Structures are given as C-alpha cells and as structure tokens.
Amino acid sequence: MEPFVTHSGLVAPLDRANVDTDQIIPKQFLKRIERTGFGQFLFFDWRFLADGSPDPAFELNKPERKGASVLLARRNFGCGSSREHAPWALADYGFRVVIAPTFADIFFNNCFQNGMLPIRLDEADVDELFRRAAVGPYRLTADLDRSELRDDRGFSRPIAIDPFRRTCLMKGLDNIGLTLAHASAIDTWESAHGMAPSSWQAR
C-alpha cells in the first residue's frame, strides 16, 4: 500500500448526500477479484449517458475537475452494502482523500485499508469548501504530519484521526502489511510453542 503522509490535490465537489456503494460502483462490475481496474466504472450510472458517452452535466466530467484526487461530498457517504470495491474504485480513479460530514462505518474503515484518507468535517466547514470549490479549480492539502487539512486561502482544520490509523497510513500498512511487519516475532512464537514456522514466501 502506498504510504500517505501529505497529499495536495484538485477537489471534485459531489454535492449529494447518501451516496451509496451501488452508486459508487454498480453491482454489475463486481465480477473482478483484483483491486485494480474499477476506476473506469466509478459512478457509472451518473458519469455516462444511455449511449455510453460521458454526461457533461455530471460533476466529475467537467473539464475543471479533470485529475481531481480529493472528493468532497455530503453526509452519509458510502452507505449501503459493505463492498470493498467502492474504495477500490475511488482509489483506482485517482482519489486519495474523501471529505464528508459523515461516512458509513464499513466504508470509512475500508478507506484506511486501501491507502485512502476519509476526513469528517462539520457541516458548516463542508458548506464552506463547496462554496470555495464552486468558483473554479480549487486545491486542498491533507497533511498527516501536522494532522491538518488546509488550502492556500486561509482555510485550516485539524484532521481527527485515530493515532494507530494515522501511523498505518503514513507507513503504508494495511492489515496484511501490519501482520507481515511482525513475521519474525510470529515465527519465534510458533517455534517456541512447538509449531512449524509459517511460510512467509509472499513477503
């Protein structure tokens, strides 16, 4: 997993509440088992018209949002089913940060396991970010060194994040990576208890 320390990126405002995981990545695209390749299907029913062409009215299709890596949304983002394909699709598309007043719990947790930073902000702060993003290309910086979200126009808010999750993100460790970091200790414990050491060929 790619470490996340500081990320500055263009903001894509998605002015919608209760965006569920079936809207993020529709169910017909869940046939793959790899984590990659889902970005092309992100928000598929909103991004594309019936003839398969991009819908120019959809937020992410606007020229000024091209290359955005910070997604700004409304409350209850990532609700619905628990599919991990939702953060896979967002990350594969290029998003590293998702900002909303609230998130569905499973989606929120899955973001950390996929190197993406979900940031909860008060409704008033989210409103302000939407206002700033509405006037043209707008960039935000998420800085885990300082636990701070900021822009270059005076906006700055602390990022509330569990210290353990912060450390894992900054080191690029998901649950598997965290386990492999203790491979030697696991082997030692298994040997001490009369067990054959585990095979760590994949590390």
CATH number at residue 93: 3.20.19.10
| pLDDT value of residue 197 | 65
Give the global pTM: 0.88
Report how many domains make up the chain: 2
| pLDDT value of residue 66 | 94
Query: Cα–Cα distance between 189 and 187 in angstroms, integer?
Result: 6
| pLDDT value of residue 203 | 43
| Residues 139 and 202 reside in one and the same domain | no
| Residues 105 and 140 reside in one and the same domain | yes
| Residues 62 and 157 reside in one and the same domain | yes
| Residues 14 and 91 reside in one and the same domain | yes
Question: What do you get for the CA distance between the two ends of the chain, in Å?
Answer: 13
What range defines the domain where residue 203 resides?
175-203
| pLDDT value of residue 198 | 65
| Residues 91 and 37 reside in one and the same domain | yes
DSSP state of 77: B
| pLDDT value of residue 29 | 92
| pLDDT value of residue 202 | 45
Examine residue 1 and state whether it is found in any structural domain, yes or no.
no
Query: Closest Cα to residue 18, out of 85, 94, 107, 97?
Result: 107
Report residues of the chain scoring pLDDT below 50: 201-203
Q: Which residues of 113-140 are buried (b: 16+ CB within 10 A; e: fewer)?
A: bbbbbbbbbeeebbeebbebbeeeebbb
pLDDT in tens, 112-171: 999 999 999 999 999 999 999 999 899 999 999 999 999 999 999 999 999 999 999 999
**Percent of the chain at pLDDT exceeding 70:** 91
| Residues 90 and 102 reside in one and the same domain | yes
| Residues 181 and 195 reside in one and the same domain | yes
